[in-house]
Amino acid sequence: MARIWHTKEQPPAHPEDPSAQTGNPPPGESEAAPDTPAELPKKSWWSVLRRTAAEFKDDELADRAAALTYYGVLALFPALLVLVSLLGVAGKSTTQSILDNLEKLTPGSARQIISDAVEQLQASSGTGSVLAIVGLLAALWSASGYVAAFIRSSNAVYDIPEGRPVWKVTPLRLVVTVVLMVLACASALIVVFTGGIARQVGSALGIGDTALTVWSIAKWPVLVLLVTIMIAILYWASPNAKGRGFKWVTPGSFLALLIWIAASAGFALYVANFASYNKTYGTLAGVIVFLVWLWITNLAILLGLEFDAEMARERAIVGGHPADEEPYVQPRDTRAWSDEERREMGTE
């Protein structure tokens, strides 16, 4: 867990410091701190892993993952409404192709719940009316609830109060939600762009079969990269903590993706071969499997966030900061802090 610090030589001049948007160290951080994880000594990686495990428990991230699962369920169907509306421009066959590929990513029961929801949204959605536009905006606001919950969780990971005013946080959560949805649409289209569709486009562009074969293999690394970037955006935009600028891929986001893929595959195998959810929960078995899978997903994302936070701590320690103290980040904004929070953070 982190606390904010300032050196005597560099007192905070303004609640919003422009160094948060550059690659320069935040005020008060040692110039000797490594700029990249690759510059850390080998022994530092063990320290990062050890503290990540300890802080994951201390920050109660398993419980926070459960809270994110709740907000995720509330946000999922509005988000699906927006995505179905956007993908509907390409036709229902595009959406169906995406659903057909869900079996590669989700347990069977979870896949069925999402498929049923999308099909119902397709049947009830309308386009071209003011009411439909208002519905999409309302759905966007509901979907942003997950981002708002993640902002709170990320501040808990860095042990820093939210100092950004409401008029600043609210647009942030909406923008992040829109960006994530655009990337989700791009990811969905990458999954769809195969088989007959790819051959038709290839013929129109004069691309040979070899190029299409290469694309059929290369699209999966591209998809992995897009998902990693989505997680990195959440990690960068959510906490009220300064960093060294946005990174397209962070160690934590890549770790989160690897853990999620492995955990999802393992859980799907367990559900298919060993679990007895149907006997225990009856007709609710599909819902329970879906909720557990969402919880595993959020658990992986929060673990990656904790890993990035501990990476920042280790850079500060290697740069000369005392190892028994936790002042390795500074706030992006302190205007919304109460007097008590300012005293706790040592800014008064």
pLDDT for position 7: 41
Per-residue pLDDT, 267:
85
Q: State pLDDT tens for residues 5-47.
A: 444 344 444 444 444 444 445 444 555 666 666 677 778 888 8
DSSP for residue 256? H
User: Tell me, what's the pLDDT at 18?
Assistant: 42
Contact call for residues 337 and 12 (beta carbons, < 8 A): no
Q: Which residues of 46-79 are buried (b: 16+ CB within 10 A; e: fewer)?
A: ebbeebbeebbeebebeebbebbbbbbeebbbbb
Nearest Cα neighbor of 328 from 241, 252, 232, 239 is 241
Cα–Cα distance for residue pair 314/321, rounded to 1 Å: 9
In what helix (H) or strand (E) does residue 52 lie, and over which residues does it extend?
helix 42-58
Give residue for tokens 């103290």.
325
Q: What angle do CA 191, 177, 257 make, to 5 degrees?
A: 50
Residue 12 has what pLDDT? Answer: 44
Closest among 169, 149, 168, 151 to 160, alpha carbons compared: 151
pLDDT at 248: 87
| DSSP one-letter string for 189-243 | HHHHSSHHHHHHHHHHHT--HHHHHHHHHHHHHHHHHHHHHHHHHHHHHSSS---
- Count how many Cα atoms sit within 13 Å of the Cα of residue 341 in the half-sphere of its side chain: 12
User: Residues for the chain: how many in total?
Assistant: 348
Give the whole-angstrom CA distance, residue 252 versus residue 227. 13
Confidence (pLDDT) at 277: 72
Instruction: Kindly give the confidence (pLDDT) of every residue in the chain, 348 residues in length, as a single tens digit, with 9 standing for 90 and above.
Output: 444 444 434 444 444 444 444 444 544 455 566 666 667 777 888 888 999 999 999 999 999 999 999 988 887 777 776 666 665 555 565 566 666 665 555 665 566 666 676 666 666 555 545 556 766 777 788 889 999 999 999 999 988 889 999 999 999 999 999 999 888 878 877 776 666 666 666 666 666 667 667 777 778 888 888 989 999 999 999 999 887 788 888 899 999 999 999 998 888 888 777 667 777 777 777 788 889 989 999 999 999 999 998 888 888 777 776 666 654 678 899 898 888 888 877 766
Contacts of 18 (CB under 8 A, 6+ apart): none
Nearest to 172 by CA among 187, 157, 150: 150
Query: Which pLDDT belongs to residue 285?
Result: 79
Continuous H helices in 59-129: 61-87, 92-101, 108-124
Q: What are the extents of the domains in the chain? A: 59-321+329-336
215 by Cβ neighbours in 10 Å (0-12 / 13-18 / 19+) ranks as middle
Contact in structure between 27 and 330 (CB atoms under 8 Å): yes
